[in-house]
Amino acid sequence: MHTFAALARVAYCPRQYYYARQDEDWTPPPDVRRRRDLAFRYPTLRRASDADLATEPISRSPAAYRAALDRLASREDWDALVDPAARGVVLEGRECRGVAHKILDGDPPTPTFVSPGRPPAEGVWRPQRVRAVAMAKALAWEREREVPAAVVEYPAHGVVRGVRLTTRNRAAYRKTVRTLREIDGPPPRIDDEDKCDACDYRERCGVRTRSLRSLLGL
């Protein structure tokens, strides 16, 4: 059975997934855990002083961060976000399994993924859309009911975004599952400078970083 983390890696870059699988490298580093922890302290952080927020791994100024949390508090699901029905739940679906960081109570229930990173200008990044679909499908399988959406939280930025199981998002999920099933050797490199620059495997992969390319005048 595929894991949510594996699917997200494949959606980012199949070759990166191949390296991570070789290394069995799936454990988030401590700084990721610190940023994820912010998603479980929104009310406290909303009231925190500038000095207190300065010690937190947030990616905005204290004032901008509190303003972002104020906007979050106007969401319909705010109460569920700060007091979820369950935390760190392992979901077992028909074809994928993995951890949902929260399950928001409601009719229907909603799983959330807490990202340590930054959100895109709109929506969520493709690997997280694929993960969100996988989480919603797994929860639907367990509860034997429709789960039409999932949520991605970016707590270091005070941003929360929903992902609906649209035809487009389901198609992205299916394509990723197919790609994952077909990987039996190193997949080709992707042609995406931004992704490669952020990839921990770029040296092993043989991809030059942007800074090295500019040094070499390439």
Contact letters (x/-) for ligand SF4, 22-61, by CB under 6 A?
Answer: ----------------------------------------
CB of 117 closer than 8 Å to CB of 31 = no
- Shortest distance (Å) from residue 193 CB to ligand SF4: 9
- Shortest distance (Å) from residue 209 CB to ligand SF4: 9
CB of 78 closer than 8 Å to CB of 116 = no
- Rounded Cα distance between 129 and 51, Å, is 35
Contact letters (x/-) for ligand SF4, 6-25, by CB under 6 A?
Answer: -------x-xx---------
- Shortest distance (Å) from residue 120 CB to ligand SF4: 17
140 contacts ligand SF4 (rule: CB under 6 A): no
Q: Helical H runs in the chain?
A: 4-12, 14-23, 30-37, 42-47, 50-54, 62-72, 78-82, 126-143, 167-182, 193-197, 202-205, 210-215
183 contacts ligand SF4 (rule: CB under 6 A): no
Total site size for ligand SF4, rule CB under 6 A? 12
Choices 51-59, 103-111, 116-124, 192-200 (CB under 6 A): range interacting with ligand SF4:
192-200
Cβ proximity to ligand SF4, 60 vs 202, nearer residue: 202
Residue 102 has φ and ψ, to the nearest 5°, of -145, 155
Helix axes 167-182, 126-143, angle to 10 degrees: 100
Choices 35-43, 95-103, 115-123, 194-202 (CB under 6 A): range interacting with ligand SF4:
194-202
Structure tokens at 13: 């870059």
- Residues paired with residue 86 on neighbouring β-strands, in sequence order: 103
180 contacts ligand SF4 (rule: CB under 6 A): no
196 contacts ligand SF4 (rule: CB under 6 A): yes
**Would strands 96-104 and 2-3 be described as parallel, antiparallel, or unpaired?**
parallel
Dihedral angle, C-alpha 131, 183, 209, 120, nearest 10 °? -20
67 contacts ligand SF4 (rule: CB under 6 A): no
Cβ proximity to ligand SF4, 47 vs 206, nearer residue: 206
CB of 12 closer than 8 Å to CB of 200 = no
The contact set with ligand SF4 (CB under 6 A) reads 13, 15-16, 189-190, 195-196, 199, 201-202, 205, 207
